[in-house]
Amino acid sequence: MREIQSLARGLKILNRLAEANGTVSITTIASDLQIDKGSASLLLQTLANYGFAEKDPHTRQYKLGPSVVQLSRSLLTKMPLRETAKPFLLQLVHDTGECAHLGVLSQGKVLYIDQVESSQTLRVNTEVGFTAPLHCTALGKVLMAWNATEMPVDFPRATPRTIVDPKMMQFELDKTRSLGYAMDDEEFNLGVRCIAAPVIDYRGKVIGALGISGPAARLPIDRIPEMAKKVTAIAQALSDRMSFIKQD
């Protein structure tokens, strides 16, 4: 597998800009990514030429440019899974009263590609594009359970309840596969529980996961099976629908 170095460097810079809080200086980028200051300058200029980065002419610092927003829209609007899933997410919110998510694998993480909030809260959809670790989210466990290659090497702790032992995780994934759904029991955010189930392709491949999340108080352990039934039912219905979509 050959890789074009300068392109790879440019992409790494984009990721670096994305994880920064504000703007970033060239020297910071250069030292973080171990590349020459002058080379970094050229790469940033190129990124800026195409709108992928933007330079504040005053501070001479860089940040992400607007082109990435265009690309994102292009991807999201053409994604059959997302388009198809929308009504199912709405239905799920209606059935459970909790907010619903749709996620896919991206670079060893869960990428949230759609979300429907429960009734009262009318917050906008900024959570689209959010990424979370696989091992401490319900969506992530589902994606791991049916994509063996995607198992991360370490499981950093997010809360006291996070599963950090690989053996325990194996057990957890076995359970997920046999039950047909996964749960996140305050393993990512304290006080929040999630339940997720797989979305299956026309080829039988797990291409995504959908689920609900809510405060632990509204999702007590003894109600989990009942709620999980609703989640798996919707996921199954969506999978059935997806089986007609040949594309991709």
Partner DNA sequence: TACCTGCGTTGTATATTATACAACCACATT
Partner DNA sequence: AATGTGGTTGTATAATATACAACGCAGGTA
The residues of the shown chain that bind DNA, judged by CB under 7 A, are 1-6, 9, 25-27, 35-39, 41-45, 55, 58, 60-61
Residue 243 binds a second copy, judged by CB under 8 A:
no
Tokens 């292009």 correspond to 74
Tokens 């917050």 correspond to 123
Residue range at the interface with a second copy (CB under 8 A); choices 50-58, 133-141, 149-157, 188-196: 50-58
For residue 44, which of 21, 67, 11 has the smallest C-alpha distance?
A: 11
Rounded Cα distance, 98 and 223, in Å: 13
The smaller minimum CB distance to DNA, of residues 15 and 125, is found at 15
Site for a second copy in 100-139 (CB under 8 A): 104-107, 111, 113-114, 124-131
Residues 82/56, Cβ–Cβ less than 8 Å? no
The smaller minimum CB distance to DNA, of residues 34 and 178, is found at 34
The smaller minimum CB distance to DNA, of residues 25 and 84, is found at 25
The binder of a second copy chosen from 27, 31, 45, 243 (CB under 8 A): 45
Residue range at the interface with a second copy (CB under 8 A); choices 5-13, 142-150, 163-171, 173-181: 5-13
Rounded Cα distance, 62 and 71, in Å: 19
Q: What is the DSSP letter of 148?
A: G
Q: How far is the CB of 171 from a second copy (least distance, A)?
A: 29
Ranges of H-type helices in 97-209: 138-145, 166-179
Site for a second copy in 128-187 (CB under 8 A): 128-131
Site for a second copy in 62-81 (CB under 8 A): 63-78
The smaller minimum CB distance to a second copy, of residues 86 and 223, is found at 86
Q: Which two tokens stand for residue 141?
A: 């466990």
Ranges of H-type helices in the chain: 5-19, 26-33, 37-49, 67-77, 80-96, 138-145, 166-179, 224-242
Q: Out of a second copy, DNA, none, which partner does residue 247 contact, by CB within 5 to 8 A per kind?
A: a second copy
- The whole-angstrom distance between residue 198's C-alpha and the CA centroid of its chain comes to 14
Residues 141/184, Cβ–Cβ less than 8 Å? yes
Q: What is the DSSP letter of 75?
A: H
Q: How far is the CB of 205 from a second copy (least distance, A)?
A: 10
> How many other β-carbons are positioned within 10 Å of the β-carbon of residue 110?
28
Q: Out of DNA, a second copy, none, which partner does residue 36 contact, by CB within 5 to 8 A per kind?
A: DNA
Q: Which residues bind a second copy (CB under 8 A)?
A: 1-4, 6-12, 14-15, 17-19, 21-23, 42-43, 45-47, 49-52, 56, 63-78, 86, 104-107, 111, 113-114, 124-131, 247-248
